[in-house]
């Protein structure tokens, strides 16, 4: 898992066509703005899991990355 630090109004770019911007930081909540092509679905993790009936791919990848490697 890649971990990045961003401040309010700072962004990250994914694959040159997805931009995620920190809109607001309030206590332990962060509001994000996401610009992505219309054909790219964007869901909160719990919504993704409800739609697909499985854990979101990034949650599975994060757990796998946390396991020690031999």
Please state, in angstroms and rounded to a whole number, the distance separating the CA atoms of residues 24 and 33: 9
Please report the pLDDT score of residue 57 as a whole number.
79
CB 20 within 8 A of CB 33: yes
Please report the pLDDT score of residue 66 as a whole number.
58
Please report the pLDDT score of residue 15 as a whole number.
96
E-assigned strand segments in the chain: 11-14, 18-26, 29-35
CB 21 within 8 A of CB 9: yes
Please report the pLDDT score of residue 67 as a whole number.
57
Q: What confidence tens digit (pLDDT) does each residue in 21-66 have?
A: 999 999 999 999 999 999 999 999 999 999 998 887 776 666 655 5
């Amino acid at each position: 898992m890649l971990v990045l630090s961003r401040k309010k109004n700072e962004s990250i770019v994914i694959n040159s066509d997805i931009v995620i911007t920190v809109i607001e930081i309030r206590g332990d909540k962060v509001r994000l703005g996401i610009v992505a092509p219309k054909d790219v679905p964007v869901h909160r993790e719990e919504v993704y899991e409800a739609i697909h009936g499985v854990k979101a791919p990034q949650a599975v990848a994060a757990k796998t990355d946390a396991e020690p490697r031999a």
